[in-house]
Amino acid sequence: MIPHKPTSFHIKSFGCQMNVYDGARMAELLEAEGMHAADAGVAELVVLNTCHIREKAAEKVYSDIGRIAKRDGGKPMIAVAGCVAQAEGAEIPRRARAVDLVVGPQAYHRLPALIANAVAGRQAIDTDMPTVSKFDALPGRRAGSPNAFLTVQEGCDKFCTYCVVPYTRGAEVSRPWGAIVDEAKALVDGGAREITLLGQNVNAWEDQGRGLHDLIEALAAMPGLVRIRYTTSHPNDMADGLIAAHRDIPKLMPFLHLPVQAGSDRILKAMNRSHDVTSYLKLIDRVRSARPDIAVSGDYIVGFPGESEADFQATLDVVRAIGHAQAFSFKYSPRPGTPAATMGDQVPAEVMDERLQRLQALLTEQQHAFNRATIGRTCEVLIERDGKQPGQRLGKSPWLQSVLLDGGVVGDLVEVEVVGAGPLSLVGVRPERAAA
Ligand code: 5AD
Ligand code: SF4
């Protein structure tokens, strides 16, 4: 390993948007320390910001470590951050000796001290969950693109029986109102036009009796900020005020990621989801009464222990009843320390594969249908970045669909007519161009 403090870094984030946010904040912290961002092939410090939610994601870290340690440019300092760091801690350098530093998701504000320890050959492992918030110790925000993430809530108290999050990210904690508003202002001053509020249970956010809808209302009053989104939500925390916000606040985008996970009440009970199919569908009805065009997204797990073909059919039924704009689906993955990992009646891998394929076929069909339904409509698109072709731009519709455009300025909110739709994206033209 390099015998001096690294001068350059590369951060690779896996998993959820909260890791993307943490990765951005680590980059800001390292830049404040005088380091600069570089490619993975040459950076003197490589940070793997990991995900522990499923076994495949967690195991990928080890193959990545091996590859980075053997890269052509010589071995960099290797740091493992994120949820694998939290879950496996000191076990990581025992298993992968190339790892110099381990830092959990609540401790990354201490990265500079850990780097100094690693350079000095001292142990550099920190998986504390300190009571003083890391946010207070981090440098201020910069916006790097028109759309920014802002973590407002972390952790989970729900203890779904398959999930590691309550163990890796800890109990539900809401950041204070003032800190969030200040961070949002800094992001908007830096050029952000859309902010996505993040939390493992973002709709459980609260501060002295104020809920997420109050926060959204306050942010909507901020000049320069044109779009607000939030994710991920839990059905039990979907307050009336938040539903009403979808009717009353135009800057709140018509998109809701609200996982139901499965369509069989028996499985939902075994998952400890504390909602059933009927209550979930009623909730979706109420949200749609408030905002009829809302795009509904979700997460599904197939092959939870004990899931029968009839249970799986019930999942397909609930998907049909909801009609998703998009949704994610996963094979159940037993996670160490979770109650479901030791439940009997684990579903064989080939059955899970086959169910996942059927579910994904249905979800793809729904997504394509949702996209096709926007053809001919005019909507606003926030241009986020350049596309692959010369002159092409990529933006997002209000319903979070990717839209390909023939030109425009990154950061602009433009009126677009949708002229084409594939399963994954739309093609749009700006009406003045269409007329020309
Ligand atoms: N196996 C498969 N999927 C899981 N998820 C969480 N834990 C597991 C697991 N053990 C899924 C859930 C959650 C999403 C982020 O990941 O659907 O909503
Ligand atoms: Fe995991 Fe359930 Fe908490 Fe979501 S609500 S993070 S699935 S325990």
Domains in the chain with CATH codes: 8-126 (3.40.50.12160), 134-372 (3.80.30.20), 378-435 (2.40.50.140)
Residue identifier of the C-alpha nearest atom 13 of ligand 1: 299
366 CA to centre of ligand 2 in angstroms: 25
Residue identifier of the C-alpha nearest atom 1 of ligand 2: 163
**Residues 284, 322 contacting (CB under 8 angstroms):** yes
Residue identifier of the C-alpha nearest atom 2 of ligand 1: 332
Q: Flag the least confident range among 203-207, 305-309, 383-387, 427-431.
A: 427-431
**Ligand 1 contact via 53 beta carbon (within 6 Å):** yes
Ligand nearest to the CA of 340: 1
Q: Flag the least confident range among 54-58, 86-90, 250-254.
A: 54-58
Ligand nearest to the CA of 327: 1
What does pLDDT average to over the chain? 95
Tens digits of residue pLDDT in 325-343: 999 999 999 999 999 999 9
Structure confidence at residue 144 (pLDDT): 78
Tens digits of residue pLDDT in 100-131: 999 999 999 999 999 999 999 999 999 998 86
Ligand nearest to the CA of 260: 1
Best mutation site among 234, 301, 329 for ligand 1 pocket (most ligand atoms within 8 Å of CB): 301
186 CA to centre of ligand 1 in angstroms: 33
Nearest atom in ligand 2 to the alpha carbon of residue 232 is 4
Structure confidence at residue 434 (pLDDT): 52
**Ligand 1 contact via 333 beta carbon (within 6 Å):** yes
Q: Higher model confidence: residue 126 or residue 3?
A: 126
pLDDT reading at 1 higher than 90: no
Provide mean pLDDT across the span 16-39: 96
pLDDT level of residue 210 (50, 70, 90 thresholds)? very high
Structure confidence at residue 365 (pLDDT): 97
Structure confidence at residue 245 (pLDDT): 98
Give the pair of three-digit tokens for residue 49: 């910001």
**Ligand 1 contact via 259 beta carbon (within 6 Å):** yes
Q: How many helices (H) and strands (E) does the chain have?
A: 14, 22
Ligand nearest to the CA of 332: 1
Percent of the chain with pLDDT over 90: 92
Tens digits of residue pLDDT in 401-433: 999 999 999 999 999 999 999 999 999 998 775
Provide mean pLDDT across the span 7-30: 96
**Residues 347, 323 contacting (CB under 8 angstroms):** no
Looking at the DSSP assignment, which residues form a beta bridge with residue 378? 417
Best mutation site among 19, 172, 205, 234 for ligand 2 pocket (most ligand atoms within 8 Å of CB): 234
Tens digits of residue pLDDT in 172-197: 999 999 999 999 999 999 999 999 99
Ligand nearest to the CA of 271: 2
Best mutation site among 54, 157, 160 for ligand 2 pocket (most ligand atoms within 8 Å of CB): 160
* φ, ψ dihedrals at 227, nearest 5°: -140, 140
Q: How far apart are CA 144 and CA 131, in angstroms?
A: 29
pLDDT reading at 229 higher than 80: yes
385 CA to centre of ligand 2 in angstroms: 32
Structure confidence at residue 314 (pLDDT): 98
Give buried/exposed letters for 203-237 (b at 16+ CB in 10 A, else e).
bbbbbeeebbbbbbbebbebeebbbbbbbbbbbeb
